[in-house]
Amino acid sequence: MKIRLLLALAGLAIVSVVPALAQDRNTVDPQVRQEIEATLIKFEEAFNKHDPTAMATLFTVDAVQVLDWGEGGTFSGQQAIEKNYAIDFASSPPEFFEKLIQVYAIGDEISAISEWSHGMWKGYHARIYVRDADIWKIRMDYAMHL
């Protein structure tokens, strides 16, 4: 009976420690979080200036963007993403605001979830950021509308 109790307690201890260890590995350094937030500010500024070229430079050359509203669609590569923003900006869209909610480390990449508002619309971005030289760029962007 005592052995079963000891094994049960050992099992509970292991089950409690493993998620804590996994969480530490996925924790993002505060400086990296600030760098991701700085990238979001650049995104917001470029969007509000209606600058499709500046928007495209925030993405990697091989980036993929998926939008789930209106015509929506998938855009692959900086050129396609820039072209899509140029079309969107031609209609003089309302101001865009974005707030970082959560960041997770996935190896050398960062997964980030942010909340956005754009005129009367609201939604979330789920992005994967990668280091490109000394800056973080968006490799994958999924934008969902509420």
Task: Please provide the DSSP assignment of 83-119 as one string.
Answer: HHHHHHHTT-PPPEEEEEEEEEEETTEEEEEEEEEET
In a domain, 20, yes or no: no
| Mean pLDDT of the 38-50 span | 96
Taking the CA of residue 83 as centre, how many other CA atoms within 13 Å lie in the half-sphere pointing to its CB? Answer: 8
What's 27's DSSP letter? Answer: P
**Domain annotation covers residue 58:** yes
Q: Which residue segment(s) compose the domain that 71 sits in?
A: 28-145
Say which residue, 70 or 77, is predicted with more confidence.
77
**Structural domain includes residue 54:** yes
Q: Confidence band (pLDDT; 50, 70, 90) for 92? A: confident
Alpha helices in the chain (DSSP H): 2-26, 30-48, 52-57, 78-89
Residue 80 pLDDT more than 60? yes
Does the pLDDT of residue 115 top 80, yes or no? yes
Question: What's the CA gap between 84 and 31, in Å, rounded?
Answer: 32
Give the CATH number of the domain where residue 126 resides: 3.10.450.50
